């Protein structure tokens, strides 16, 4: 029987709340630490919730003093690329200073195992695809730079202090808990699938397709249909990788600071995603075609062979319609005849 307690930092947000479910399903005890600035207290379920901020060493010290934990999972990053460009201080304070505060508190209380939520944004513009872990890391925005700074710090903390960590570089998280126990809520919403499903919900409620608010940036990329291609991983598969990483750390098998891509390995274009959403929802979703955004690569697809070889992980919910179906069931359940993407939406990651 598993008796270890895991502290999920940012456990009231999208991926964090799904991780709380996955840990509880696997038999772990869970404690959540979240400032609720972009998360929801109802998302953590029966898990104890400590309301605190990474930027406050006092909050962190009180959490570790009150709860004896064996391992930390850290999801509490700010993760909007555009916001990171306009508000970089916010990102450096939360993502860098806040994480260093977390590492200090962990060391003080003898907690030396960390699973860190990283990102493919550390790679920047790809030299080749699919992208593996040996690809140069040249982030092109403050968000990606803050994540890379922590990855580099974790190497130094392993060498100097013996902190064991596994950093997981996500591509595009998507989908919702297949049992509709948790879902995706952001404010503002920037992820493609929820944006398309919001338009599908508007159509289901009698909207005019000519009033579509869905925007497609670029239809002239050198791809099969002119729209850019991205790699989507179901959130349940992301959580499964975190469980494998936790097992590796708790078994003392990790070699200092380790890094793994989490990717489906198959890319889907924006127009393919829209078509699949039409199929799943039965709604005639339309969109506005706009010029490309600066810095948008044509193709971002990951290579997750290292995670398969070392963690024994691979994406299981890999088909696009299945990913979308879990998200649509959540939207449909939450809407109750009104949009889930209303003013109460948000996320703590």
Which residues are known catalytic residues? Answer: 143
Distance (Å, rounded) from C-alpha 99 to C-alpha 74? Answer: 8
> What does DSSP say about strands 113-119 and 71-74: parallel, antiparallel, or unpaired?
parallel
Bridge partners (DSSP) of residue 45 are none
Overall residue count recorded for the chain in this entry: 349
Which residue in 53, 28, 50, 30 sits closest to 41, CA to CA?
50
Distance (Å, rounded) from C-alpha 91 to C-alpha 245? Answer: 26
In the numeric block, the tokens 């699938």 are attached to 193
Distance (Å, rounded) from C-alpha 73 to C-alpha 6? Answer: 7
Identify each DSSP E strand in the chain by its residue range.
Answer: 5-9, 29-34, 49-51, 71-74, 113-119, 164-170, 172-174, 215-217, 229-234, 257-262, 267-269, 288-290, 299-300
DSSP string covering 256-267, please? SEEEEEE--S-E
Task: Say if residues 308 and 260 touch (Cβ distance below 8 Å).
Answer: no
Number of H helices, E strands in the chain: 11, 13
Return the half-sphere exposure (C-beta side, CA atoms, 13 A cut-off) of residue 76: 32
Task: Say if residues 320 and 272 touch (Cβ distance below 8 Å).
Answer: yes
Structure tokens at 132: 């593996």
């Amino acid at each position: 029987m598993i008796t270890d307690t895991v502290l999920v930092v940012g456990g009231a947000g999208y991926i964090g709340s799904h991780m709380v479910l996955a840990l509880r399903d696997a038999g772990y005890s869970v404690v959540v630490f979240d400032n609720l600035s972009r998360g929801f207290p109802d998302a953590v379920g029966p898990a104890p919730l400590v309301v605190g901020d990474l930027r406050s060493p006092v909050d962190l010290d009180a959490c570790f003093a009150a709860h004896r934990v064996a391992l930390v999972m850290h999801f509490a990053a700010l993760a909007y690329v555009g916001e990171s460009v306009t508000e970089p201080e916010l990102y450096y304070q939360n993502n860098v200073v806040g994480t260093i505060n977390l590492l200090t508190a962990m060391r003080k209380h003898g907690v030396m195992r960390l699973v860190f939520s990283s990102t493919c944004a550390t790679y920047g513009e790809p030299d080749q695809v699919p992208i593996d872990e040996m690809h140069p890391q040249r982030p092109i925005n403050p968000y990606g730079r803050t994540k890379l700074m922590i990855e580099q710090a974790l190497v130094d903390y392993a060498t100097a202090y013996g902190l064991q960590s596994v950093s997981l570089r996500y591509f595009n998280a998507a989908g919702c808990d297949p049992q509709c126990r948790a879902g995706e809520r952001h404010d503002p919403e920037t992820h493609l699938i929820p944006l398309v499903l919001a338009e599908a919900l508007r159509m289901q409620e009698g909207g005019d397709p000519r009033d579509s608010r869905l925007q497609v940036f670029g239809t002239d990329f050198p791809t099969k249909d002119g729209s850019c291609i991205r790699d989507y991983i179901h959130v349940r598969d992301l959580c499964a990788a975190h469980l494998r990483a936790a097992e590796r750390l708790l078994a003392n098998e990790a070699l200092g600071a380790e890094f793994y891509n989490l990717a489906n390995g198959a890319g889907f274009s924006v127009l393919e995603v829209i078509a699949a959403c039409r199929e799943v929802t039965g709604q005639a979703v339309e969109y506005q075609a706009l010029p490309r955004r600066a810095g948008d690569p044509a193709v971002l697809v990951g290579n997750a062979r290292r995670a398969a070889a070392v963690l024994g992980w691979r994406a299981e919910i890999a088909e696009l319609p299945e990913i979308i179906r879990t998200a649509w069931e959540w939207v449909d359940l939450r809407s109750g005849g009104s949009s889930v993407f209303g003013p109460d939406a948000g996320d703590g990651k």
